[in-house]
Amino acid sequence: MRDSTKSEKRARGRPRAYDADDALSNATDAFWLGGYSATSLDALSDATGMNRPSLYAAFGDKHALYLNTLDRYVEAGVQAMHIALREDIPLAQALQRVYDGALALYLPAGGEPRGCFLIGTAVVESKADEAVRTRLAQGLKSFDRAFEKRIRRAQTNGELSDSADAAVLARVASAILHSLALRSRAGDSRASLRATAAEGVALICGARNHIAPKAASMRGTRKRFEK
């Protein structure tokens, strides 16, 4: 996380130059640490080095600022995934690159475990806040799509069977990412989380001979569980 130490405060009412990207990054750190509800405007002002009028003028109210940080986080995450999921390396290596990059974010060197910003903060707020719920859903779908695109490329290249359900495997890949996010926040070690990711990669890449269960069979399974 960024150093929250700020320079001396400017005189009251004096306009302040600011870098929007830096301000959003620092605001993200503040929300990430305390969650949306518990992060006060004073905490955001301290984190960004901007007084309240400047924050309102630049980003709107606290809610608008938070939505901005969510949008920025998802956009950066999708871009990082596209880079990690490059098509000139095997699927297993590409997937592991995503998970290693995520762990570096969730478990910052020299810092406290913080997990995923989107899952760690937006899930709580999404129940009562439609705008947050929409961004949470869109963010998760964006990650699914990035995985699915790469998995379909692996099918085209012969790494995976055409009979494998790329959309389902993509959601499995995302589920592994979600598990890493939650367990890292809960204190699991980097080694254990990386081992979990590696097993997940092996599961996905072992789908060469995967055949989706028939609908009738799935219905029978559901009936057994419902008894």
For residues 41 and 46, give the distance between their C-alpha atoms in angstroms, rounded to a whole number. Answer: 8
For residues 143 and 151, give the distance between their C-alpha atoms in angstroms, rounded to a whole number. Answer: 12
Whether residue 56 is contained in a domain is answered as no
Whether residue 128 is contained in a domain is answered as yes
The alpha-helical segments, DSSP class H, found in the chain are: 20-34, 41-48, 52-59, 62-84, 91-106, 117, 123-126, 130-156, 166-186, 190-205, 215-226
Residue 19 — very low, low, confident or very high, per pLDDT cuts 50/70/90? confident
CATH of the domain at 99: 1.10.357.10
- What Å distances lie between residue 122 and 44, 52, 126, 196, 198, CA to CA? 17, 23, 6, 24, 27
Residue 212 — very low, low, confident or very high, per pLDDT cuts 50/70/90? very low
Closest by Cα among 24, 2, 148 to 75: 24
Q: Which domain holds residue 164?
A: 74-213
Please compute the mean of the pLDDT values over residues 128-140 and round it to a whole number.
98
Here the tokens at position 198 are 């590696």
Q: What is the pLDDT of residues 38-47, one digit of tens each?
A: 999 999 999 9
Domain total for the chain? Answer: 1
Whether residue 205 is contained in a domain is answered as yes
Whether residue 50 is contained in a domain is answered as no
Whether residue 221 is contained in a domain is answered as no
The pLDDT of residue 77 is above 90: yes
Here the tokens at position 161 are 């069977």
* Percentage of the chain exceeding pLDDT 90: 80
Whether residue 53 is contained in a domain is answered as no
Whether residue 86 is contained in a domain is answered as yes
Whether residue 161 is contained in a domain is answered as yes
Q: 3-state DSSP: the chain helix, strand, coil percent, rounded to 5?
A: 70, 0, 30
Can you give the pLDDT at residue 10?
40
Q: Do 95 and 112 touch, CB atoms closer than 8 A?
A: no
Please compute the mean of the pLDDT values over residues 63-67 and round it to a whole number.
97
Closest by Cα among 164, 188, 197 to 84: 197
Better-predicted residue by pLDDT, 213 or 74: 74
- What Å distances lie between residue 208 and 14, 134, 159, CA to CA? 64, 35, 7
Q: Is the pTM of this model over 0.85?
A: no
